[in-house]
Amino acid sequence: MDSIWTETSEMPHFDSLKGHIKADVLIIGGGIAGLLTASRLAGQGVKCVLAERERICGGITKNTTAKITVQHGLIYHSLTVRYGPETARMYLDANRWALEEYRRMCREIPCDFEEKDSFVYSVKDRKKLEKELAAMERLGCHGEFADELPLPFSTAGAIRLEKQAQFHPLKFLSAVVKNLEIYENTPVREMEKQKAVTENGSITADKIIAATHFPFLNKHGSYFLKLYQHRSYVIALEGGPDVEGMYVDEDKKGLSFRNAGNLLLLGGGGCRTGKKGGGWCELERQASVWYPQARLHGRWAAQDCMSLDKVPYIGQYSRNTPGFYVASGFNKWGMTSAMAASGILTDLVLGKENPWAAAFSPSRTMLHLQLAVNGLEAAANLLTISPKRCPHLGCALKWNPMEHSWDCPCHGSRFREDGKLLDNPAQGDLKGR
């Protein structure tokens, strides 16, 4: 179940940490957000060390569909209504900057970078699209309405945004990591103010960034309430059509489409981690009807942290943790969000004012309906009987027969059948496995 990105690239290997070292900045987590931030800080002359629990890009990053776009579903209408146009414009500007940074960097990195138009479609609700398009126009983001789409089913239309992009994420990152100080197979076991204790040493740093997908410290920031995790599935088809763009349904249960070389990537079948969803079976069933001549090339799954308000948490980990920062809750838009995080966090670490930081502040209001949903989900699960319980906060694990894993419906930790940790926020394997 490897993605096509891992099939067609090879990431460099790094040694594990043995001993005690010091740095200006420690980044915990070797996915795209951590690596881009490390690269940007190093470019500013900062002595930066990155520690990764296993292999860099070995988790969520390798399973992305790698769309680079400022069009994150129907985000701008909801942001304008909830927070006002100033915050919505900050979100837009941060992601515009991220897109341009990819465009600039990819001129020097062979990574299959292609400009593509981006489409957010709706199967039934044209009014939603019209509201979003109007909100985008007010913010200075000029899209257009598309009535005819090369998709295998009818829609109510789509919002089309020109000159967005797609690429090969691992080819890109294999170039980004050159000359960075990285330690693989170096899990952080304990935090002591400005020191991270690892299995075979420690790293002392003036400032620390948690880029671990799901934040791992429970006593600060309330991320176990502010986030939940969602799984989605992808199949790669040989012999599928060229859809000439990147497409995503405005409904979170909908489907996404993009081409990668001679393959068509079909994504969807998702569900909250630990719940039942259609998965690969649903995608393969639909593909057999829509593209009967196509052949299955491969399949994989991704897991995304979902915030309360669809905006990532990027900035100081909590009000009470100066010098400790976080990047999480990318809501399925990890490519631009990770690049935006690298810019925001670099400015914060260097003591510079960042024009977008306020919109992404992890300390913004928690008063959203999703907070109650997350809390009730955890409370109900804690009362559930299960042969396996999550070492993170004790929730009952659910067996996932499709992926042969034990999954936590509360916060999204996942474990192999033999108990080995697959996805955080849990920090270790199942006991008594």
Per residue in 177-211, pLDDT (tens digit) is 999 999 999 999 999 889 999 999 999 999 999 99
The whole-chain average pLDDT of the chain stands at: 94
Residue type, 73: G
pLDDT in tens, 68-95: 999 999 999 999 999 999 999 999 999 9
Task: Evaluate whether residue 287 is within a structural domain.
Answer: yes
The predicted pLDDT at position 33 comes to: 98
Between 343 and 433, residue with greater pLDDT: 343
- The reply to whether 103 falls in a domain is no
- Candidate ranges 220-229, 292-301, 389-398; pick with highest mean pLDDT: 292-301
Query: Could you tell me the two tokens for 91?
Result: 């979100």
Is 189 found in the same domain as 50? Answer: yes
Average pLDDT over residues 345-372: 93
Domain enclosing residue 396, as ranges: 369-421
- What whole-number distance in Å separates Cα of residue 364 and Cα of residue 307? 12
More reliable by pLDDT, 393 or 56: 56
Q: pLDDT tens digit string along 386-407?
A: 788 888 888 888 899 899 999 9
Q: Are residues 143 and 231 in the same domain?
A: yes
Q: Does the pLDDT of residue 432 top 80, yes or no?
A: no
Per-residue pLDDT, 256: 97
Q: How confident is the model at residue 347 (pLDDT cuts 50, 70, 90)?
A: very high
d(CA 94, CA 9): 29
Over residues 341-361, the mean pLDDT reads 98
What is the per-residue pLDDT for 237? Answer: 98
For residue 230, is pLDDT > 80? yes
Residue 277 within any structural domain of the chain: yes
Residue 2 has pLDDT above 90, yes or no: no
pLDDT tens column, 38-52: 999 999 999 999 999
Phi, psi of 247 (to 5 degrees): -125, 140
Confidence of residue 381 (pLDDT cuts 50, 70, 90): confident
Is a pLDDT exceeding 60 seen at residue 433? Answer: no
Q: What proportion of the chain, given as a percentage, has pLDDT over 90? A: 81
pLDDT at 60 over 70: yes
Domain contains 102: no
Is there a domain that residue 186 lies in?
yes
**Same domain, yes or no, for 251 and 296?**
yes
Instruction: Note the pLDDT tens digit of each residue in 154-173.
Output: 999 999 999 999 999 999 99
Residue 121 and residue 213 share a domain: no
Which residues face 324 on adjacent strands? 208
Same domain, 131 and 266: yes
Q: pLDDT tier at 371 (50, 70, 90 boundaries)?
A: confident
Residues 326 and 189 in one domain: yes
Q: Are 154 and 194 part of one and the same domain?
A: no
Same domain, 29 and 48: yes
pLDDT at position 221, please?
87
Is position 71 within any domain?
Answer: no
pTM higher than 0.85: yes
Domain termination site, one of 305, 330, 345: 305
Please report the pLDDT score of residue 383 as a whole number.
67
| pLDDT at residue 136 in the model | 98
Q: How far is it, in rounded angstroms, from Cα 347 to Cα 355?
A: 10
Collect all residues with Cβ–Cβ distance below 8 Å to 300 and sequence separation of at least 6: 1, 2, 3, 63, 233, 234
The answer to whether residue 251 is domain-embedded is yes
Question: What percent of the chain clears pLDDT 70, i.e. is strictly above it?
Answer: 99
* 285 plus 407 within the same structural domain: no
Say yes or no: 393 and 266 in one domain: no
Alpha-carbon distance of 239 to 165, in angstroms, equals: 22
Between CA 176 and CA 183, with CA 182 as vertex, the angle to 5 degrees is 145
**What 3-state DSSP class applies to 382?**
helix
- Which CATH number do you get for residue 276? 3.30.9.10
d(CA 298, CA 65): 13
The whole-number pLDDT of residue 39 equals 98
Among 305, 324, 350, give the residue marking a domain's end. 305
For the segment 16-28, the average pLDDT, to the nearest whole number, is 97
Q: What is the rounded distance in angstroms from the CA atom of residue 367 to the CA atom of residue 129?
A: 26
In the beta sheet, which residues pair with residue 192?
195
**How many whole angstroms separate alpha carbon 289 and alpha carbon 298?**
18
Is 291 found in the same domain as 256? yes
Q: Answer yes or no: do 328 and 249 share one domain.
A: no
Q: From CA 69, how far away is CA 58, in angstroms rounded?
A: 23
pLDDT surpasses 90 at 345: yes
What domain count does the chain have?
A: 3
356: confidence class by pLDDT, cuts 50, 70, 90: very high
Model pLDDT, residue 330: 98
Looking at 305, 320, 335, which one is the last position of a domain? 305
Residue 104 located in a structural domain? no
Sign of the alpha-carbon torsion through 391, 393, 396, 399: negative
Residue 28's CATH number: 3.50.50.60
